[in-house]
Amino acid sequence: MTPDALAALHARCFTMPRPWAAAEFAALLTSKGIFLQCTAAGFALGREIAGESELLTLAVDPALQRQGHGRSLLTAFEAGSRKRGATEALLEVAATNSAARNLYESAGYRESGHRPRYYSPPQGEKIDAILMRKSLI
């Protein structure tokens, strides 16, 4: 996927945190440790550094959600992480994003921290971030 395509899909999936621009994706894709897992339904963008792999974002076309594509992309992210030498995966998710939290919990991720009032939605009160981790060994 091109940075423009990534940004367009991201914008269809997210309002909070704000969607990332094509220029941001382009810059990330040239950064050390960044890797991208893509399917026709969406993508997972990760970064592996020193044995830890962070899921930066996961986006599935809204028309294709709740069909297992998110789980497939998460599995691909984990496989890509292991291939790069990661022994642990981590991510952050909005406390209000129950669908994503359910996906991550069902895949074995466990809450490891909490960032109060981390996300700033376009309207309304700030939302907490939940940090999650999973061993990949």
Catalytic residue among 48, 78, 104, 119: 104
Task: Give the integer Cα–Cα distance in Å for 30 and 19.
Answer: 19
Q: Is 92 designated active site?
A: yes
CB atoms within 10 A of CB 96: 14
Task: Give the integer Cα–Cα distance in Å for 83 and 86.
Answer: 7
Catalytic residue among 48, 54, 78, 92: 92
Nearest one of 100, 111, 108, 105 to 137, comparing CA atoms: 108
Question: Which residues are designated catalytic?
Answer: 92, 104
